[in-house]
Amino acid sequence: MIALGVVAGGCRSSHPPYSWHNNTPSTASSKVAQQATNDQQISQVSFEEDLPRATEDSVTTTGDELQQPPELAAELIETPTPEPSSPGEPSVLAVISSVRNHFPRLREAEATRIIASGEQLSAWGAFDHKLDGYSNVQPLDYYENNWHEWGVKRNTMWGGQVGAGYRLGRGSFEPWYKERETNDGGEIALSLRAPIIRDRTIDKNRADLWRAQLEQNRVEPYIRSQLILAVRDGIQAYWEWVAACENLKIAENLLELGLDRAKYLKRQVELGEKAQIDIVDNRRIIVSREAKRTAARQKLTQAAAKLSLYFRDSAGTPLVVDQTLSGSFPKVEVPEEATLGRDVELALANRPELAELAIVRRQLSVDRSQAVNETLADVDAGVKLAQDMGAPTKDADKSETELEAILTVSVPLERRKALGKLRQVRGKQAQLRAKTEFAEDKISVEVQIARAAVTAAAERVGQNTENLELAQRMQEAENRLYEEGQNTLFNLNIREQQLAEAAAELVASQRDFFAALAEYTAALGLDGSDLSTLYRNETE
């Protein structure tokens, strides 16, 4: 029983294994600080370097201290659907909150945590206790006997194996099978096998486990990247809906001008001040503007339907915003110049893609250490201690303690399999360095493009605001001239059209500004949790 207790406890390695385990999901990536640490820990080999010597010293592992099996991610459990409650009128912050809490694509991405957790749990299975047993009974034979052997063994975190077992052999055994015979109480045995050269600091079991642990960390940047994209798309869908609301107001206001003028023209024709043809022409204008209002309503309906993908109630059901509700654009505020100067640095420190590549680099370092390990001689040492119990048999007394030492040697002469794996890893590391360099350059360019779009859109908002004010003054002047009989309905209609176009251009520039701002914050790697200050005017 003491022996079984030793095995059940297992063994802990005194070597710092290769692991980057973190029980709490990472929500942000610090590329600058993390990469500096990783580059010190990981020896990257260029593809053109000579193959390293296959020595024990070349097999190195790095990382945090490996923990006991962590609490793995919970399985998805069907829970009762909560009573749906509306988040109220749509706002950009309400949309962001809805995306973060209820967007199905995020739930899909978060399910990768369970997949990675399952992979890690499976990798821990290599260190499970294994029960082995064998029973043999010969009731009808010249040598009538029975013998049974049962035991527990477990792979250790330092590459060896420990085991404990019980054996019982009774009856008459063939002379060449006398080792199967035991005393009446049976035999208990302890065994230990330890690597001498290969598999000391890393082996297949530990490499699989460390890769699985790193994979569980790798899914966090992936989830965050999906969150950033979903928040960006949700914000842009909201501003599209706001723009559609504003365009419908413009179409309705333009139509209202024609309807009001119809009443005015009817009185003027009755008084003989205006010609009958003006009523006909004004009716043509009204019908044309009604068609534009219908088109604006269609675009609003479509924008509300698109927004419902991101704007959901507490049960996750899409909410199609009623057409009686409307939104408006807040004041346009361009980010400070000092902030713009640091945006590339912020993006490089914040973007999850670089954090994900850093974890992949550590996974490749595990592969490299394992490949170097396989070039070494496979030399194992083992020891077995056995003790019979109870009264001796009539043929022999086996009460003396048995101690057996074992040494096994296996040397790959050409080492082509291991060296081929090592070459593959070097190629993958070279690919990863190039991929990381391009990712950094791409992030820098994306930030610059988004920054230019924000700045240009802000300038257009200012220009279109002035254009709208001038168009308003011209329309009012033309209307006064028409009422005084010094102008025609044709000229007045042109001024009203110009006023509507100026208002629509202002709406388009405001939409472009806030869409570009959403693109800019996504390029910086902001996931919506800290965007309230950007849209504070919208909620006031």
pLDDT band at 90 (very low <50, low <70, confident <90, very high): confident
Whether 141 maps to a domain, the answer reads: no
Average pLDDT over residues 534-540: 58
Q: Which residue has tokens 């915003």?
A: 321
More confident residue, 332 or 377: 377
Indicate whether 368 and 501 sit together in one domain.
Answer: yes
Indicate whether 390 and 350 sit together in one domain.
Answer: no
Give percent of the chain above pLDDT 70: 80
Rounded CA separation 507/250 (Å): 10
Return the closest-CA partner of residue 405 out of 106, 191, 130, 131.
191
| The pLDDT of residue 341 | 64
Is residue 187 a contact partner of residue 386, using CB atoms and an 8 Å limit?
yes
Q: Is residue 354 pLDDT above 50, yes or no?
A: yes
Indicate whether 351 and 482 sit together in one domain.
Answer: yes
Is residue 21 a contact partner of residue 66, using CB atoms and an 8 Å limit?
yes
Q: How would DSSP label each residue in 176-191?
A: GGGGG---TT-EEEEE
Average pLDDT over residues 365-379: 93
Indicate whether 227 and 293 sit together in one domain.
Answer: yes
Rounded CA separation 103/112 (Å): 15
* 190-205 as b/e: b if 16+ CB within 10 A: bbbbbbbbbbbbbbeb
Whether 16 maps to a domain, the answer reads: no
Rounded CA separation 133/11 (Å): 23
Return the closest-CA partner of residue 534 out of 345, 331, 272, 251.
331
Whether 11 maps to a domain, the answer reads: no
* 139-166 as b/e: b if 16+ CB within 10 A: eeeeeebebbbebbbbbbbbbbbbbbbb
Return the closest-CA partner of residue 321 out of 330, 329, 313.
313
Average pLDDT over residues 81-89: 55
| The pLDDT of residue 309 | 94
Interhelix angle 31-41/352-373, rounded to 10 degrees, is 10
Whether 170 maps to a domain, the answer reads: yes
- Torsion angles phi and psi, residue 209, rounded to 5: -65, -45
Q: Is residue 323 pLDDT above 90, yes or no?
A: no
Reported as a single tens digit per residue, the pLDDT across 205-246 is: 999 999 999 999 999 999 999 999 999 999 999 999 999 999
Reported as a single tens digit per residue, the pLDDT across 151-163 is: 999 999 999 999 9
Q: Is residue 87 pLDDT above 60, yes or no?
A: no
pTM more than 0.85: no
Print the domain residue range for 396.
161-198+378-411
- Choosing from 356, 387, 411, the residue where a domain stops is 411
| The pLDDT of residue 395 | 66
pLDDT band at 86 (very low <50, low <70, confident <90, very high): low
Whether 520 maps to a domain, the answer reads: yes
Average pLDDT over residues 263-290: 88
Question: Can you read off the two tokens belonging to residue 388?
Answer: 């019979």
Indicate whether 188 and 208 sit together in one domain.
Answer: no
pLDDT band at 73 (very low <50, low <70, confident <90, very high): very low
| The pLDDT of residue 11 | 39
pLDDT band at 79 (very low <50, low <70, confident <90, very high): very low
Handedness of CA 368, 374, 377, 383 (dihedral sign): positive
Indicate whether 463 and 526 sit together in one domain.
Answer: yes
Indicate whether 405 and 500 sit together in one domain.
Answer: no
Q: In one letter, which amino acid is 405?
A: A
Q: Is residue 47 pLDDT above 60, yes or no?
A: no
| Rounded (10°) CA dihedral 421, 422, 427, 429 | 120
Is residue 229 a contact partner of residue 351, using CB atoms and an 8 Å limit?
no
pLDDT band at 340 (very low <50, low <70, confident <90, very high): low
Q: Would you give the distance in Å from CA 206 to the centre of its chain? A: 25
Rounded CA separation 195/200 (Å): 6
Indicate whether 107 and 177 sit together in one domain.
Answer: no
Indicate whether 327 and 391 sit together in one domain.
Answer: no
Indicate whether 212 and 99 sit together in one domain.
Answer: yes
| Rounded (10°) CA dihedral 31, 36, 38, 42 | 140
| The pLDDT of residue 339 | 61
Stated as kind and residue range, the H or E segment containing 110 is helix 104-124
Average pLDDT over residues 38-61: 37
| Rounded (10°) CA dihedral 363, 364, 370, 373 | -140
pLDDT band at 50 (very low <50, low <70, confident <90, very high): very low
| The pLDDT of residue 393 | 72
Average pLDDT over residues 189-205: 93
Whether 13 maps to a domain, the answer reads: no
Q: Would you give the distance in Å from CA 102 to the centre of its chain? A: 16
| The pLDDT of residue 165 | 93
Quick one: DSSP state of residue 143?
S
Is residue 200 a contact partner of residue 17, using CB atoms and an 8 Å limit?
no
Indicate whether 209 and 274 sit together in one domain.
Answer: yes
Whether 143 maps to a domain, the answer reads: no
CATH of the domain at 103: 1.20.1600.10
| The pLDDT of residue 537 | 52
Number of domains observed in the structure of the chain:
2
Whether 93 maps to a domain, the answer reads: yes
For the chain, the average pLDDT equals: 81
Reported as a single tens digit per residue, the pLDDT across 460-476 is: 999 999 999 999 999 99
Indicate whether 222 and 247 sit together in one domain.
Answer: yes
